[in-house]
Amino acid sequence: DAGVTQSPTHLIKTRGQQVTLRCSPKSGHDTVSWYQQALGQGPQFIFQYYEEEERQRGNFPDRFSGHQFPNYSSELNVNALLLGDSALYLCASSIDRIGTDTQYFGPGTRLTVL
Amino acid sequence: ILNVEQSPQSLHVQEGDSTNFTCSFPSSNFYALHWYRWETAKSPEALFVMTLNGDEKKKGRISATLNTKEGYSYLYIKGSQPEDSATYLCALSGSARQLTFGSGTQLTVLP
């Protein structure tokens, strides 16, 4: 089992550009969540996808959007990049179950916005 | 809204020392408390999930307890080793299924 994989590992963009990050969940998992980790902080929830729909959303602007595919993989898109979007973006997968389900994380994509 | 505080922010201990750190939360309105270990350049690794007041979990030299009435969880490491050096994250999960994380405790074990 390859676990949760993310691509790319690192990415450098300039302000105003758009970026797409990708995530493949752990085998057997149907739910994908995305988190942003800024320096010195814990991961912050962006949104969660289940059955190809956004089910929950954190306090992030509409510039952040996503998609889940029939094979449960997911993409995170960020439009009109700002310097403050520089962060580590983590993807986590889980099995749909309220509350106690463990989320398994990928290694993250480091996004730098210049 | 779930709030999670972790202390201390960072910690240096000598190899062989035992240590513990705290996760505190003002409200017990959550489904589960999660502990993760996050080593540099790796994925956060799930350590424990606890749901009930008084829960205790153990994995090798690491153990955790949960006290929902007083709003805290402790993570203990017995006989710290250099490979225990990592950031330890505490998170709460509620009905919304998302994880709400604390800022973590960065542990450095000196040989």
Model pLDDT for residues B50-109, shown as the tens digit of each residue: 998 889 999 999 999 999 999 999 999 999 999 999 999 999 988 777 899 999 999 999
Percent of chain A whose predicted confidence (pLDDT) is above 70:
96
Nearest CA in chain A to B32: A100
Separation of CA A70 from chain center? 17
State the DSSP string of A4-28: -EEE-SEEEE-TT--EEEEEEPPTT
Q: What pLDDT was estimated at residue A100?
A: 66
> Are B42 and A41 in contact (CB < 8 Å)?
no
Instruction: For residue A85, give both structure tokens.
Output: 């979007």
Question: First-to-last CA distance in chain A?
Answer: 36
Coil, strand or helix: which one is A59? coil
Residue to substitute from B87, B99, B101, B103, interface A, most A β-carbons within 10 A: B99
Find the chain A residues whose C-beta atoms sit closer than 8 A to any C-beta of B.
Answer: 3-4, 31, 33, 35, 40-45, 48, 55-56, 58, 90, 92, 98-108
Between B28 and B101, the higher pLDDT residue:
B101
Q: How many helices (H) and strands (E) does chain B have?
A: 0, 11
Task: Decide if B89 touches A, using CB distance below 8 A.
Answer: yes
Q: How confident is the model at residue A99 (pLDDT cuts 50, 70, 90)?
A: low
> Are A99 and B30 in contact (CB < 8 Å)?
yes
pLDDT tens digit sequence for A49-93: 999 999 999 999 999 999 999 999 999 999 999 999 999 999 999
Instruction: For residue B35, give both structure tokens.
Output: 């502990």
- Among the partner residues A44, A56, A108, nearest to B97 by beta-carbon distance: A56
